[in-house]
Structure 1
Amino acid sequence: MAPSLEREARAKLTVRAQTEAINVFAKNLEGLLSARPVRGARVLALDPGYRTGCKVAVMDETGKLLDHGVVYPTKPRHDVAGTKRELARLVKKDGVNTIVIGNGTASRETEEVVSEFIAEQAPSLRYTIVNEAGASVYSASELASQEYPDLDVTVRGAMSLGRRLQDPLAELVKIPPQSIGVGQYQHDLDQAELSRTLGHVVEDVVNRVGVDVNTASASLLGYVSGITPSVAKNIVAYREENGAFTDRRQLKKVPKLGPKAYLNAAGFLRISGGRNPLDATSVHPESYEVATSVLERAGVKASELSRGGVPDIERRLGSISTLASDLNCGTLTLVDIVNELKKPGRDPRDDAPEVVFSRSALSIDDLEPGMELKGTVRNVVDFGAFVDVGVHQDGLVHISKLANRFVKHPSDVVRVGDTVKVWVEKVDRDRKKISLTMVQGK
């Protein structure tokens, strides 16, 4: 009897633990995908390495590859002078304003060289460290070989690092969620359930943000509600054959995109600079008539939407509930429409914390107890949060040090991508461990 009860209790506890671990992974993934894009960044991405060198990829503001190569700032070649010359050449030639460094092997040594280069030759430049988890998985994938058949695997990996800064969502959807490196115990979990849950998270974020149908990749389009991977490829093929979409109704001509799929997807697919300004908003085509009536009531032309919207539209309209009744429209639906017309095409990721940039390198040897730092939350687990404070090792803020109150779970206080102020509590240089606190004086 006792062994049977023990097995039953163990099975129930295992299921509960797996469910909790999957939920933590899902919350972390949502925070990572919702990270703020760095628009206007002309990026030089560095994928550090020792023997094979540091792979370089330069991209313009849209992520288009401009240059690529290899430098050797680390041992065994340790060509620091040659690395600085090549960086200076690429920065000048391609108008680079941002350098991105992967956080893997040789990241610390590469960061030191970049920091010296900026101080000596390019003080207006800035750099940041990005998490390279999953970059190697993507670079060797069939998708990457289809996108860039003529490029080496190492160049694809460096490009992925740069694009993660420019548009995290568009780049990270190309990587299996399990390989992104947030969460805990992912290899011990039910892989089918983990994959299904994380797939729902990606779909939710993509649909919340919206997708520009004229620039999105098939990988990104495939997560839009109602769009299957095969239909996503058909959209890209139609766009390449017929040119950019100028009207949402053109989507009905895409092979295999039927009426139901169109109804599900249309509100999430945006067309910038199209014939109808409402196509660039999240207003669904079924609600265009209501949106047009709202603009007429406000005394505003639809063309105003392309110039930043109507910030004072609520004042112009008066009572929303009365207007909803006049237009025979649900109040909540009308509120959503009015909010979109107020600031059309607004990216909810703009509310996320800004990326933390650096101009000088920090070492674990520079850290002292009591030092105040600004960092970025890289991972949230049951026992605390790992924060990147600009050294190679992330520091741990234990759950008891997250706030000056009881915290049931770290995700109640922080999420992946948050910018936080921390204080160094303890530095173990021999074991390369950093203890941090978010409570001053604790």
Structure 2
Amino acid sequence: MKQVAKELSIKLSQVKNVIDLTEEGNTIPFIARYRKEVTGALDEVVIRDILDRWNYLMNLEQRKAEVIRIIDEQGKLTDDLVKKINRATKLQEVEDLYRPYKQKRRTKASIAKERGLEPLANWMLSLPEQGNLLEEATKYVNEEKEVHTPSDAINGAKDIIAEYVSDQAEVRKWIRFETLKHGIIQSSVKNKDQDEKRVYEMYYEYEEPVSRIVPHRVLALNRGEKEDVLKVSIKPDVEKILNYLNKTFIGVKSRSPVAEEVMAAIEDGYKRLIQPTIEREVRNELTDKAEEQAIVVFSENLRKLLLQPPLKGKMVLGVDPAYRTGCKLAVVDETGKVLHIDVIYPHPPNAKRKEAQEKVLDILKKYGIEMVAIGNGTASRETEEFIAELLKIDGTGIVYLIVNEAGASVYSASDLAREEFPDLQVEERSAVSIARRLQDPLAELVKIDPKSVGVGQYQHDVSQKKLQDSLTFVVETVVNQVGVNVNTASVSLLQYVSGLSKTVANNIKKYREENGKFKNRNELKKIPRLGAKTYEQCIGFLRIIDGDEPLDRTSIHPENYPVVESLLETINMTKEDIGTEGLINRLNEINISEMAEKLGVGHLTLKDIFDALKRPERDPRDDLPKPLLRKDVLQMEDLKPGMELQGTVRNVVDFGAFVDIGVKQDGLVHISKMSNNYVKHPLDVVSVGDIVTVWVADVDVKKGRIALSMIKE
């Protein structure tokens, strides 16, 4: 625990309390929100870091004990070795120390040992000042053991020395560090025909110091190698490493008559046994770090996407654009209920433009549409032009928004969508999803596998389990930060609530269908499989907006209702005053620390209670800037260098950010064009969903590329 506290720069008591709370069956969202006093207000990310690191160290201790046991059973355990193993802080160090004692397949060295050549190897390694190697080797000639000549004996002994050298933990550690620090990663083209689009052209003849290569290039090289386009290798400073090995094993005894043969054995040990495995380990380490970085970027992009502000209470027309099969339309009311489904053919090859105009104008008028949501897939820009033109004719001031429809088709074809809309076609379900994404992005996006939302980089090249775990954690964190209306939430949303499984989420939906809306949080205790512990974990995140207990609208946990009642009584207010100006003013006059002492509750808990009483249905997304609404459309040909535009950040990657500026193609703001100051990573400057001012730097209409800058030239 001390090590975790030290590494994360937090108190030992915080680490201990988080581990204790987790072992008692508490979830991360619950600990972060309702046990602030115990953890010192640690957020979800730090709590997860504590648990991840703790689990790693527990596994490390387990492995140490196992390694010590195995070596002891071999009768080769020494006090010094036990100390070294116990001092190790990484699994790799433990494996290095265990290496000499590991049961190996038959190797050149093990065969040489079977032939009785170990004493000769030990004699050579002792680097005697005098003696004749050939004479010494002659003693080991043995036809039965297949040692036919002195030369056979010497070669066998050298194999033993080579393996001995390669098994030394300190040696491997030094070489690994040296390769990471001064090695060069190289790539060359292996099969150009496999790379039709010349995606990997820059890597056909490429090299860069291992210590300086950035994560996205590591993943690009890995992918090129996997696709059989590239050959990738690590080039260490062999001369420096061999000098180190000779100094370590020969040192001042370089005049020994056997020194030259021992040096040859050391070189063989390095080139044949150490270098290939160290190269593998270095490549794995680079890949692990690159994957970690890619997952961090994807997770952060996903978090921002899920936290996009909802446009609540709007009558929306969703449009799923297409050419041949027509644009599918879906009218969705303020609650997300589907009122109308239709199809229009404004584009070739059918091009019934006038009929399409009449149909849409009729829908806008009939349903009192306030916003149009257009998917950003195929035919999106042509559909945008069509809608923008229509809205001018309509003249009621309706605005439209381009909605990132990544994953909408995945959802539309899923069992979940079929269950929700059994009578609709796939594309019609997409139009509904696009409209709902505008109204409440979070509620709609949780229905989709997080990997399909289109905000990652190299997502297929990373460990899918690690990626899934990280993205699921992000979705859980966001859902619980926002809170869920238990009377309207889908099973997809409910299953991410702290403590709830998919089964319990389904049981909640079933109960709701059979008994009508929940009237209070207490009623949830009747749900099958929702026991006392689950109730404690989930209930603070579930809201009942129009029930018979006013506190159920808030994020206040029922365990604190007695505290709230005492507080309101003390200040002569009632539950009916929640959210009113009178109560807000009264709470603003109170000294929280004094009141916390008086009520016997923690300061942090009381502060959260105050916030919830002031804004009972607060949604953290409401404080974020609203999405960019449009009334007109731009063509790529309209863009000129120096033109100032506003756009929405669609994706952030290691080398920059892609920004939707209202033309067919998103523009790229390279990391070097984000600020006049040094930018370590684009995420330090922008996030998915941000509205940014950009200037056009360059336009290549032919290639469909737009270079943007966030710095006014």
* Separation of aligned partners in 1, 2:664 and 2:686: 21
CA contact (8 A) 1:399 1:409 kept: yes
Other structure's SS at 2:519 match: coil
2:334 counterpart letter in structure 1:
E
CA contact (8 A) 1:48 1:106 kept: yes
Tell me which of 517, 522, 532 is aligned to 1:259: 532
Other structure's SS at 1:91 match: helix
Q: Answer 1 or 2: which has greater helix percent.
A: 2
Question: Residues 48-88 of structure 1: CA distance to partner in whole angstroms, max 9, x if unpaired?
Answer: 11111111111111111111111011110112111110101
Q: How far apart are residue 310 of structure 1 and its match?
A: 2.9
> Hey, what does 1:50 align to over in structure 2?
323
Whether 1:235 and 2:528 are equivalent positions in the alignment is no
More deviation in 167-176 or 404-413? 404-413
Q: How far apart are residue 298 of structure 1 and its match?
A: 2.8
> Hey, what does 2:102 align to over in structure 1?
none
> Hey, what does 1:370 align to over in structure 2?
642
CA contact (8 A) 1:313 1:342 kept: no
Other structure's SS at 1:198 match: helix
Whether 1:200 and 2:473 are equivalent positions in the alignment is yes
Whether 1:414 and 2:682 are equivalent positions in the alignment is no
> Hey, what does 2:487 align to over in structure 1?
214
Whether 1:144 and 2:379 are equivalent positions in the alignment is no
Q: How far apart are residue 341 of structure 1 and its match?
A: 1.1
The verdict on how the C-alpha distance between 1:308 and 1:93 changes in structure 2, with shifts beyond 3 A counting, is farther
Whether 1:14 and 2:253 are equivalent positions in the alignment is no
> Hey, what does 1:95 align to over in structure 2?
368
Q: How far apart are residue 307 of structure 1 and its match?
A: 4.8
* Separation of aligned partners in 1, 2:512 and 2:586: 35
Alignment of 1:110-149 (within 5 A): 110-149=383-422
Q: How far apart are residue 314 of structure 1 and its match?
A: 3.3
Question: Residues 338-394 of structure 1: CA distance to partner in whole angstroms, max 9, x if unpaired?
Answer: 111121110000111211111111111111111111111110100011111111211
Q: How far apart are residue 309 of structure 1 and its match?
A: 7.9
Whether 1:346 and 2:618 are equivalent positions in the alignment is yes
* Separation of aligned partners in 1, 2:606 and 2:578: 17
* Separation of aligned partners in 1, 2:432 and 2:582: 35
1:203 counterpart letter in structure 2:
E
> Hey, what does 2:666 align to over in structure 1?
394
Whether 1:438 and 2:710 are equivalent positions in the alignment is yes
More deviation in 393-402 or 162-171? 393-402
Q: How far apart are residue 165 of structure 1 and its match?
A: 0.4
Q: How far apart are residue 424 of structure 1 and its match?
A: 1.1
1:298 counterpart letter in structure 2:
I
Q: How far apart are residue 181 of structure 1 and its match?
A: 0.5
1:387 counterpart letter in structure 2:
V
More deviation in 149-158 or 172-181? 149-158
* Separation of aligned partners in 2, 1:110 and 1:253: 49
Q: How far apart are residue 306 of structure 1 and its match?
A: 5.7
Other structure's SS at 2:694 match: strand
* Separation of aligned partners in 1, 2:612 and 2:625: 22
1:148 counterpart letter in structure 2:
F
Question: Residues 199-242 of structure 1: CA distance to partner in whole angstroms, max 9, x if unpaired?
Answer: 01000000000000011011100000011001001001101111
* Separation of aligned partners in 2, 1:353 and 1:391: 22
* Separation of aligned partners in 2, 1:266 and 1:307: 24
Q: How far apart are residue 327 of structure 1 and its match?
A: 1.0
Whether 1:405 and 2:405 are equivalent positions in the alignment is no
Q: How far apart are residue 308 of structure 1 and its match?
A: 6.9
Which one has a bigger Cα radius of gyration? 2
* Separation of aligned partners in 2, 1:315 and 1:433: 53
The verdict on how the C-alpha distance between 1:406 and 1:195 changes in structure 2, with shifts beyond 3 A counting, is same
Q: How far apart are residue 403 of structure 1 and its match?
A: 1.6
* Separation of aligned partners in 2, 1:82 and 1:307: 51
Q: How far apart are residue 258 of structure 1 and its match?
A: 0.5
1:172 counterpart letter in structure 2:
L
RMSD: 1.2
* Separation of aligned partners in 1, 2:509 and 2:597: 41
Q: How far apart are residue 16 of structure 1 and its match?
A: 0.7
> Hey, what does 1:72 align to over in structure 2?
345
Q: How far apart are residue 123 of structure 1 and its match?
A: 4.2
Question: Residues 10-41 of structure 1: CA distance to partner in whole angstroms, max 9, x if unpaired?
Answer: 01101110011001000000000000001122
Runs of 4+ in structure 1 off by over 4 angstroms are: 306-309
* Separation of aligned partners in 2, 1:106 and 1:204: 35
Alignment of 1:224-373 (within 5 A): 224-305=497-578, 307=580, 310-317=583-590, 319-373=591-645
The alignment's TM-score, normalised by the length of structure 1, stands at 0.98
Other structure's SS at 1:312 match: helix
* Separation of aligned partners in 2, 1:314 and 1:253: 35
CA contact (8 A) 1:309 1:343 kept: no
The alignment's TM-score, normalised by the length of structure 2, stands at 0.61
> Hey, what does 1:379 align to over in structure 2?
651
The verdict on how the C-alpha distance between 1:415 and 1:161 changes in structure 2, with shifts beyond 3 A counting, is same
More deviation in 298-307 or 375-384? 298-307
Tell me which of 462, 470, 494 is aligned to 1:189: 462
* Separation of aligned partners in 2, 1:316 and 1:295: 14
> Hey, what does 2:144 align to over in structure 1?
none
1:413 counterpart letter in structure 2:
V
Whether 1:427 and 2:699 are equivalent positions in the alignment is yes
Other structure's SS at 1:310 match: helix
CA contact (8 A) 2:579 2:613 kept: no
Q: How far apart are residue 313 of structure 1 and its match?
A: 3.6
Q: How far apart are residue 150 of structure 1 and its match?
A: 1.5
Other structure's SS at 1:2 match: helix
* Separation of aligned partners in 2, 1:107 and 1:53: 12
* Separation of aligned partners in 2, 1:353 and 1:392: 24
Other structure's SS at 1:108 match: helix
Answer 1 or 2: higher relative contact order, Cα 8 Å, separation at least 6. Answer: 1
Provide the identity percentage.
55
> Hey, what does 1:32 align to over in structure 2?
305
CA contact (8 A) 2:480 2:541 kept: yes
CA contact (8 A) 1:209 1:348 kept: yes
Other structure's SS at 2:518 match: coil
2:498 counterpart letter in structure 1:
S
**Ranges in structure 2 where 5+ consecutive residues have no aligned partner:** 1-273
More deviation in 257-266 or 112-121? 112-121
Tell me which of 428, 445, 462 is aligned to 1:155: 428
* Separation of aligned partners in 2, 1:315 and 1:439: 42
